[in-house]
Structure 1
Amino acid sequence: MTPTRLQLDLYEQLLAELKKSGVMPDKFFKRAAAKGWSTANSAHPAFNGFDSVILLMTAIELTKDPSFAMRLGRSVDITSYGTLGFALMTCANLRESILLLLRYGKAFSLPQWEAHEHNGGLLLRLGVLSTAPEHIRPVTELCFAQLSVTGSSLYRGQIQGAELQFAFPKPAHSASYKFALNVDVAFDCQYSQLYLPAHALDTPVRTSDPSQYVVFHQQCEEMLRGLGRAEKITSEVRRLLIQSAGQFPSIAGVADSLYMSERTLRRHLSRESNTFRSILEEVRNLLASEYLTKTDLAVGEIAHLLEYSETVNFRRAFLRWRGMTPSAYRQQTRP
């Protein structure tokens, strides 16, 4: 399986943090390989699977830094999540960001989180970790440090009333938790989880952008669909068009991105009973519906984003797709 950007970035940052601690790469690689690091000779080594636990525990051993996992977690920022990171940054508030994280995290190899309502607020609980008991604390620290950095990218300052609860005893290096995680911390709890009070869920995301949210959200949805099926040319074309919303490439441009000729692309699409034009229409239909229901953009602005030279042409197309005008659709689908 091809590593995700996050897995590659974590691996690179792990090496960078080791260098800061004076640990030579050769020594680290040799020790990790002796512990069973299976991708030591891979062309693209990454921080994934059980190998990630081996790499993390080896780094802690060689640096003699028990807080190394939190250092590593804070060394990657939200852009390492790729499309999901940008989607999170365009959400309206933390509630919306959390819903995206829960739905699409799996597609981007993020830790698995569960949401539970509590006292009007929300408990964001780390899923069960399939690792040895002695590895649970550092792996948990890594996951919550990543979550903390993600939160810092979405809002400024500390959220009043928030608390991190850990299902293990207070460690000797507990003083580093407050700095690394920027939230009140409790130990010996039933679960490892973050509690967010009700008022915190409505905290605005400082980089909110409704029109970009629609695009990134649809890209995430395409990636999630791709987990359960073999990639097809149609889905690849659809993904590229959604990704390029506002500047749709020509069929020649898409073919170039897929490393094939235009003729070959047309032939593949024909085998899948599809055409480039119909996929473009489908994407325009999808994005138009999302813009109308989830943003306050004027119909003329939406027409421009979908590359219609005249608003009237967009209205005609939408009437063909939905059997009603864009304004009527917006009125019908909004509460």
Structure 2
Amino acid sequence: MSLAQSETAGALRADGGLTVGDRPQPRLSPIPNWNVRHGIAGVRRLAQLAGEQGMALETCLDGTGIAPAMLDGDEVDILVEQEIRLIRKLLLALPQARGMGLDLGLRHQLTDFGIWGYALISSRTLREAFQVCLRYIDLCCVFGKLACEESGGEVRVRFDYDQVPADIRPFVVERDAGAIAAVQRQICGVALPLRHVDLAYPRPAHAARLAAHFGLQPRYDAPGSMLVVASQVFDQPLPQANDATLRMCDAECRKLLARRQAYSGVAARVRDIILRCPAEALDMEAVAARLCMTGRTLRRHLSEQGTTFRALRDEVLQMLAEELLRTTPMKLDEVAERLGYSDSAAFSHAFKRWKGVAPRALGRS
């Protein structure tokens, strides 16, 4: 149901409410959690950009834990942490890509986002579509928190990306802004005229490209990143609105979100412990004790989430091993010790099981 406009300070909330005055604050999308999962669409677009810049797919994905074959799947999920690793690797290898975040975002199609995209396009108004967007924000590739506030005849879409690593933050903000613009244009049929754009980082070398896209000069080094549009456009009917389709899509979005969030339970806590204390990863009982449960209970929880302690351990240790071998001067026995192996031979055996090659075959970047 669309929300009534308000000329007093208020906020458009994903739960269908509008806060006014000193009542509840604007509804934010969930705080970033790098252990949650995203669909593969964002990674697919990143790999496409890397290929256009001359970077081989295998090189692009190496060390991220993402296999090339995963890009061909429509229902493949990856960890946000893996996508961060890929973005960081891309920007280090291809400095020119730092100015391509907006263009990358603009490439996104509604079909990239599966059922979430269909839910948006089936909404009756842009206001209703934005409610759906916020409610199921974890089903798309956006990294930060989003809030939508309304007052004085304006809607302000705020981007809170403080928890995104600083070295990739401008790229991610511009990519996500481009993706939102692309989705909005496909939903409405036309681009919305912007009144103001604030960006919470210094003016980049590609500022002219940003100004050309936004149709105005953004304000840089602002307190926060924000897009501002007129309130009236939020209540215009959408051309492909369909209540029955929206109800079906909403139900499917709830199911999909529940499946992804399930991975963020005990399994995510196990991954966190292994990341922080990899030397304990070889002992499930030690990890279970840190979670105040027995090994048997931990095994049951992980089984309910469709995974095992060994699978999580191997996933994290492989990722850490590749990063240490490629980006640090550590010797093989030092890496083995850091990851909790008794000696380099035990580590080499595990590495061959993961990668099919000895760790010494891995070149350093």
The TM-score bracket by the shorter chain reads: 0.5 to 0.7
**2:93 maps to what in 1?**
62
> Secondary structure at the residue paired with 1:102?
helix
Q: Secondary structure at the match of 1:125?
A: strand
Letter of the structure 2 residue corresponding to residue 170 of structure 1: R
Q: Does the alignment pair 1:160 with 2:193?
A: yes
Instruction: List runs of 5+ in structure 2 lacking aligned partners.
Output: 1-34, 72-76, 264-365
- Aligned twin of 2:223: 190
Q: Would you say 1:94 and 2:126 are equivalent positions?
A: yes
SS at match of 1:51: helix
CA distance in 2, matches of 1:101, 1:72: 20
- 2:207 is matched with 174
2:70 matches 1:44: yes
Which structure ranks higher in relative contact order (CA pairs < 8 Å, sequence separation ≥ 6)? 2
Q: Deviations over 1:61-115 (max 9, x none)?
A: 3333222222322222121211111010011111111111111112456443112
Aligned ranges for residues 261-276 of structure 1 at < 5 Å?
none
Change beyond 3 A, Cα 1:138–1:131: same
- 2:84 aligns with 53
Asked if the contact 1:163/1:196 (under 8 Å) is kept, the reply is yes
| Residue of structure 1 in register with 2:136 after alignment | 104
Identity %: 16
Looking at structure 2, the residues matched to 57 and 69 of structure 1 have their Cα atoms a distance apart, in angstroms, of 12
Give unmatched runs, 5+ long, in structure 1.
Answer: 231-335
Aligned with 2:155 (options 94, 114, 122): 122
TM-aligned CA deviation for residue 220 of structure 1 = 2.2
TM-score, scaled to structure 1: 0.58
Whether 1:28 aligns to 2:60 is: yes
* Separation of aligned partners in 1, 2:138 and 2:86: 21
Going from structure 1 to structure 2, the CA distance change for 1:47 and 1:129 (only over 3 Å counts) comes to: farther
Is the partner of 1:131 in helix, strand or coil?
A: coil
Question: Residues of 1 paired with 2:90 and 2:104: CA distance?
Answer: 10
CA RMSD of aligned residues (A): 2.9
The question of whether the paired residues in 1 share the 8 Å contact of 2:149 and 2:155 is answered with yes
Counterpart of 1:194 in structure 2: which amino acid?
Answer: L
CA distance in 2, matches of 1:63, 1:128: 23
Contact kept? 1:145, 1:180, Cα under 8 Å = no
The equivalent of 1:9 in structure 2 is 41
Cα separation, 1, equivalents of 2:125 and 2:66: 41
CA contact (8 A) 2:199 2:226 kept: yes
Conservation of the 8 A alpha-carbon contact between 1:144 and 1:181? no
Whole-Å Cα distance in 2 between the matches of residues 85 and 205 of structure 1? 14
Q: Check 1:155–1:227 CA distance in 2 against 1; reply closer, same or farther (3 A cut).
A: same
CA contact (8 A) 1:94 1:205 kept: yes
- TM-superposed CA distance for 1:184, in Å, is 5.8
Normalising by structure 2, we get a TM-score of 0.53
Greater per-residue helix proportion: 1
- Contact residue 184 and residue 191 of structure 2 kept, 8 A: no
Question: Aligned with 1:99: secondary structure?
Answer: helix
Distance 1:191 1:95, change over 3 A: same
Task: Give the equivalent residue in structure 2 for 1:300.
Answer: none
Residue 150 of structure 1, CA deviation: 0.9
Aligned residue-pair number = 222
Deviations 1:122-166 (A, max 9, x none): 211123442332222111112111111111111233323433221
